[in-house]
Structures are given as structure tokens and as C-alpha cells.
Amino acid sequence: MLVGYVSDENDVAIADVAVELIGADGVPVGCRSSASGRVDADIPPGRYDVVLAGVGYGPKRTTAVVGSEPVRFRLLSDRTYGFVWPKETVSGHTAQIRVSCPRPYRLSLWRYGSRRERVAPLGVGEHEPGATAVPLPDGDVSGSGVDWSPGEFPGQRVVAPERGGLYFVHVDDDGGGFHGLPWIVSPAAPAASVAVLASDLTWTAYNSFGGRSNYLNPAGLPPAPVVSRRQDLAFYTTPERGEWEDEHYPPLSLRRPDPDASIPLTEDVDGPTTTRPGPHLAAADWRLLAWLERQGIEHDLYAESRLARGAVPLDAYRVLVLGCHPEYWTHPMFEQVRDWVHAGGRLLHLGGNGLNCEVELLDDDRLLVHNGDTRELGAGDGPDWSRFTARREPEAALLGVGYDQRGLLTAAPYEVVEPSHWAFAGTGLAAGDLFGHASLNGRILGGASGHETDKISPHSPPGTTLLARGVNANGGGAHLVHVPALGRGEVVSAGSIAFVMSLLVDDVVSALTRNVLDRFLADR
């Protein structure tokens, strides 16, 4: 009978895994997984103790009920994984480092600001040799999360530094492996006039550890693990279907490793991003924070999830800065920021495709995404291709711009439209001049307008002013806009994911961003 399937942390089938099933009679039955990861055994239905072992994967013991649904056995590759929990912490509070590593390892804490700075050693793996590799739970790990080192012991604990910011715990193992664990540290009390949001909710939506993200199998794991990702994943086999054509999507856990957020040690903040997700996830936020520190702009960093819990004191800040891709927001987050701007706050949105989809936080560690059936949104050949707009209200009414799919995966410079605007003071630019040629976006080359772009829409507030437009092909360029009066506040939006990646290397992008912040901070 079919017992189940064996797959790895990416839900890719593992062949030739030795499987031993022990039932109530205590007699072991051995078998091996097939090329598709399938496990068949001549056993009656019931509860079994199961042992699994495969070359290149950590062995484990588990239990399974056989005879109803096929069991999804999961094995973890022989490589380093981990995360800090909670992934965002207030200065002075304690978090836990949860690591699985097949070899002895060392931990150290680093701050990612104007440069990568070593803060302190954190010791070594605290388990006996061979016990540093922690088994992966069975089932849908993307939704259930990973309980590595729960409780006070034996997890490695770390106290959040007094100085807030973006930190990484480095895990270096004796085999030369490395994994960086992002950790957002917020201040115990507001200490600056500028607050910055790190996009941890968006990071979670993109995190496919366990075989599922909001882009990979968003509606749930397939009945059996894939053998060839290129041949078996729906993204490739039925691209005409699209990613989101279902009404409901299972939650995604924040409590699991996020390999895409790890930044390779060979990547420097002043160099191009070197991984596919780098230009729009944690590596991009690092570039923004480095620019702020080098400009001497004091700021406090918070996680989006903290704002979602209502724990960011917006009223204490004059300016709120959003990074390159804050795509997934809860509706209460939107309402908090909208009300804060109307009351006099200044919002600087330095990204693209922002606030495009509503999410909910469940039990503080699961993210529920409300994509809906996006076929109802149309072809996306203009602004406002937005799941948030369809479900709640237009994000363009706050940001001044809405997402336009025509700019997807393109990049180009911006063209000046309104050179007399104060944002261009001191740049010497005239109408029609181009800026934003240089970029650290190692994935989408070409300039500061790109990757994903937004435009002025019918929902943009009255008075929204177009300052510059990207010259991307086929009308895909971003709109850099100023909303001069939104209640008693105002907004500037870059309209481009790639904009942040030009801050450190393009003088005009840097100068106009500095002009905006100086104006927002001085305008009382």
C-alpha cells in the first residue's frame, strides 16, 4: 500500500531513502523510496514508528498514521539552516537562535548598517557532536513552522543590543558553510525623528522554505513532491493559469528559516546584489540603512510585523520611510499610516509595488495572504493592478501611485519632468535630463526605475505632482511623485523597487532623496 512520500525542505522528492516501519507488533518492515519519493510497503493501516535515512540528508525518527492520507515525510539536507525567534525584538529583550547544522558551528552577531560590523561572538553549537542537526517536521512545514530548540533550553539565547538596526547572526560551520539569520532590533523608546520599516511581512510572503510561498505553490503543496522543478511546478507547466487564481490560500509561518534573506559574505554593501531575491528583500533594506547612516540621518528601525501589532509609536515620528518593496500589509497598518499622514506625518515611500496585497497576522507567527482570484483584476496594462485595491481601498490614495505590470523585470533611468521642484534643488538638472543610471541591482540591470514600477492613477490624491518618469520600454517607467497635501501631511513616492539600489551609487538619486528628507524634517 502507499504509505507516503519523502521530500526535502524544498518539497523535492528524495529517491532511495531507507525506510523502516514498526507497528504495534514490534516487527520492523523495511522499504526504500522510489524515484518519485514514493514509499510503498505491505503493511496494514495503523500507527507506526518510522525511521528514515538517506545519503546527504539528516536521518530521523518519526511517527505516522498509515492508511488514510499519504504521509509527507520530510528530511533536511546536510547544510546549515536557522533563524532568530522572534525575528524582530526590542532593544534589551531576549531572543533565541535556532539552528540546525550537520557539523560543529560558531555563532557571531553582526550589525548591517553603513557597513557589515562584527558586534560580538555568541559561542559555539551547544550540542554533542552529531546532535547539532535537528530533524525537520513532517507535513507542510511552510505553514506549521519549525520548532527547533523550543523553550529556554537548549536554545542559544541573545539579548538585543541597545543600538537598534538590522542585525544578522552569522552561523559558520566547520565544513565552510554559512547562513545569515536576519534580526530586526527596534528601540526601547523613540530616539529619532525618522522611523524606517523593514519589510519582514514581504520577506515572509517570498520565503519558500518548506516548499511553499506566496509564489511557489501558494494554494498549498501538490499531492506529491516534485521530481523536476522545471517539469513539475505549476509555475512552469501551466504559466497561463497565473499564480493566484484561487479564493483561499493556506497560511505561511514566520517561524522558519529564510534562506533568501541571508546575504553572502562575499557581497559588500557598496557592490551589486548577488542573489536573485537580494534586490528586493533584506539585501536591499541594508543598502537603504547604509545610505541613511552615511548621510548622518538618525533613524529608528522597526519591523512591519511590529506595526501590524500596533506597537510602532508613529505619533513620536515626523517621517516614516518605507523601503524598496513593502508589498504585503495588513489593513490596520494601512489605516494607521493613512491616519498618521492626515494628521501631519510625512511619508517617504522609496519602493515600488507597495501595499499591493492585504495580509493578516494569525497567532503572531502565521501570515494569511488575501490574493483572491487575480483574473478579476484584468491584464494589468495600467496602474492599479492591486489586490489591496480590489479588497479594501486604493493604495494610490495614500502613496500617490499604483502598481503597473508593464514595468515588470525592466530597468532604466528616470527623466526629469518638473526640474523647478524643490526635490531637485542643487542637482542642476533640466527638463528631459536623465538620472539614476547607476544601480546595485544585480538582477535587473539598467537603472533606478525598474524591477517593478508604479504610476499615477485615477485614485491618486488631488494635486499629486509628477516629478520624474522612468524611460523603461513599452511605457513601463516608474512615476516619482509628490503629494503636497494629504490632510495635514504629505507624501513622496519613488514608484520603483530599483530606486533604493541606486542610493549609494547615483549622486542625483542620493541628492533628491536627501532633499526630501531635509524638507520633511524641517517643515514644521
Q: Which residues pair with 483 in a beta bridge?
A: 491
Instruction: Select from 209, 306, 218, 213 the least CA-distant residue to 262.
Output: 209
- C-alpha angle 199/200/204, rounded to 5°? 125
| pTM for the model | 0.96
Element (H, E) at 275: none
pLDDT at 218: 95
**What are the angstrom distances between the C-alpha of 130 and each of 104, 396, 399?**
8, 53, 52
Q: Per-domain residue ranges for the chain? A: 2-74, 81-189, 200-521
Cβ atoms of 252 and 367 within 8 Å: the answer is yes
Q: Does domain 2-74 have CATH number 2.40.110.10?
A: no
Q: Which residues pair with 52 in a beta bridge?
A: 19, 60
Instruction: State how far the Cα of 524 lies from the Cα of 521, in Å rounded to an integer.
Output: 7
Element (H, E) at 511: helix 507-522
Here the cell at position 320 is 516614516
Instruction: Select from 179, 195, 184 the least CA-distant residue to 161.
Output: 184
Instruction: State how far the Cα of 198 lies from the Cα of 305, in Å rounded to an integer.
Output: 9
Q: Are the folds of 2-74 and 81-189 the same?
A: yes
At residue 129, the 3 state secondary structure works out as: coil
Architecture of the CATH domain 81-189: Sandwich (2.60)
Under-70 pLDDT residues of the chain: 150-155, 240, 523-524
pLDDT at 25: 93
Instruction: State how far the Cα of 109 lies from the Cα of 182, in Å rounded to an integer.
Output: 10
pLDDT at 150: 59
**What are the angstrom distances between the C-alpha of 465 and each of 207, 434, 484, 493, 505?**
36, 18, 8, 10, 26
pLDDT tens per residue across span 286-339: 999 999 999 999 999 999 999 999 999 999 999 999 999 999 999 999 999 999
Domain 200-521 top-level CATH class? alpha beta
pLDDT tens per residue across span 491-513: 999 999 999 999 999 999 999 99
Q: Which residues pair with 252 in a beta bridge?
A: 367
pLDDT at 154: 45
